[in-house]
Amino acid sequence: MSYTGPEFDPPQQRRPRRGPLTVALAALVPGALLGWLVYEEVGGGGSGAEVRTASPAPASSASPLSSAPGTASSAASPGASPDASPGDDGKVSGTPSARPGGTGPLKGKVVVIDPGHNPGNFRHTAEINRQVDIGTNRKECDTTGTSTNDGYTEARFSLDVAHRLRTLLEQQGATVKLTRDGDSPAWGPCVDERARIGNTARADAAVSIHADGSAPGNRGFHVILPGSVHAGAADTRPIVGPSHDLGVRIAGNFLRETGEPPSNYLGEGTGLVTRTDLGGLNLSTVPKVFIECGNMRDSKDAALLTSGAWRQQAAQGISEGIVSFLRRS
């Protein structure tokens, strides 16, 4: 999801590699964020969460994927095909529907996963450019999303991670619903409908999965939290607190599982950003966050985002954050 310019920009020239001093300073950021997130979760930031321990962030001199726990593969191969791992985004016909959970610790909990954008949006420009009410103003129904310079689209990435995440949550007993799945619907849904799906399901948690389209050299993940909005059809005041808790837990676990650093261009190193201009958050009546898993236009992030093994780690980190949130709520 891009923040400036067209939603699907042409490939850009890559920046020269950063010098050793910049790399050394950047290595300090994940550790600082992880400590801050633990502080938040034990109550220092007012979240009131139970005490949990977290593993140190991987050092920059080692592969962030070489020792990340909880994955099917011990290392992601950046050069691997995006479809190299099982659980990728094969098309599934039919209207997205809730899949009942099992008998695990999350039995009775409902999670809505919102894979950003849709591959069909490129062929339905009139439909996705239609303006919809997001409470504070009107915006496009949806956008095309971004892609890596080699053409791996955000829509394809987000659905693959959503499938992996659904499997992990169902193994914990949760009932999981996707806002889109495979080739259904043909485009969209619109951002207001994406929020409505979570509201109608009375989700205990909702997560929208994205990857950013910022400039090369900008890298890292960030979790987008809803700001306080009370305008028109939007009233986020009841969900701001629980959404913050959900976002903090996802950010901490995502960092630990993937080794991906927090964004170096948004969030001031916290990995957390608050926004009031996103219909998917403004119109939600259930705890909801967005996660931008990395920047598709940065070569280092793109190498991770196109790796099936790394996407499994991403799903694991998001899942652990959701499970942590649901087990205390």
Active site residues: 292
Tokens, residue 316: 């694991």
Residue 148 CA to residue 48 CA, distance in Å, equals 39
Tokens, residue 145: 């999303």
Handedness of CA 71, 221, 179, 230 (dihedral sign): positive
Q: Residues with Cβ < 8 Å from 37, sequence gap 6 or more?
A: 54, 248, 251, 252, 255, 271
Beta strands 230-231 and 175-178 are: unpaired
Q: Residues with Cβ < 8 Å from 287, sequence gap 6 or more?
A: 203, 204, 205, 206, 239, 242, 243, 245, 246, 325
Of the chain, the end-to-end C-alpha distance in Å amounts to 30
Handedness of CA 18, 23, 26, 30 (dihedral sign): positive
Residue 116 CA to residue 106 CA, distance in Å, equals 25
